Amino acid sequence: QEQLVESGGGTVQPGGSLRLSCAASASIFKIYVMGWYRQPPGKQRELVAAITSGGSTNFADSAKGRFTISRDNANNTVYLQMNNLKPEDTAVYYCNANRRVAWGTYNYWGQGTQVTVSS
Question: What gap in Å lies between CA 79 and CA 26, rounded to an integer?
Answer: 16
Q: What is the pLDDT along the chain (119 residues), one digit of tens a residue?
A: 678 999 999 999 999 999 999 999 999 999 999 999 999 999 999 999 999 999 999 999 999 999 999 999 999 999 999 999 999 999 999 999 999 999 999 999 999 999 999 99
Rounded to whole angstroms, the Cα distance separating 18 from 108 reads: 23
Q: Is 78 helix (H, G, I), strand (E, B) or coil?
A: strand
- Compute CA distances 31 → 21, 23, 54, 91, 96, whole Å: 18, 14, 9, 28, 13
| pLDDT value of residue 2 | 73
